[in-house]
Amino acid sequence: MQLKNELYQLCLNFVEQRIATANEALLQAQEASNDDTKSSAGDKFETGREMAQQDINRNKQLLADAQQQRAILQSLKDIGDTHTARNGSLVITNQGSFYISISAGQLQLEGKTYFAISAVSPIGKLLIGKPVGEQILFNGKTYLIQEIA
């Protein structure tokens, strides 16, 4: 359970960093838009303003996505051990260890590599609902589920 809590915290840190980055980029894009509005004229103004607006919209979407990931993570905070893989499970296989939560990529913890994956990722879909001892085939490799926490 301690290991899952530490992986949860690493994922939360990942999401919080994404939120901070998106907020900063959004602020910069809004400032750029305001500066362009003050100093431009004619067609150049319209082009610059449109590009700034696209930048703002893209950063708003990145922020919304990161906030959604944080909400998903928070819903998994106190999920205990289960007999089958589900959202919030740590699934140990012969080919690697997977924390089913959000797509945060590789996580390093105590010298070991874990993969934070979404339940809707290709491998996540295959793992969900499977018990210890079950095998899945993914990208030509057989994954034997050895432990679920």
Query: Do residues 35 and 137 lie in contact, with contact meaning Cβ atoms separated by under 8 Å?
Result: no
Residue 119 CB partners (closer than 8 Å, separation 6+): 86, 87, 100, 125, 128
Q: Residue 38 has what pLDDT?
A: 52
Element of type H or E holding 19: helix 2-39
Q: pLDDT tens string for the chain (149 positions)?
A: 799 999 999 999 999 999 999 999 999 888 877 776 555 455 555 677 788 788 899 999 999 999 999 999 999 987 777 889 999 999 999 999 999 999 999 999 999 999 999 999 999 999 999 999 999 999 999 999 999 99
Tokens of 82: 């289960």
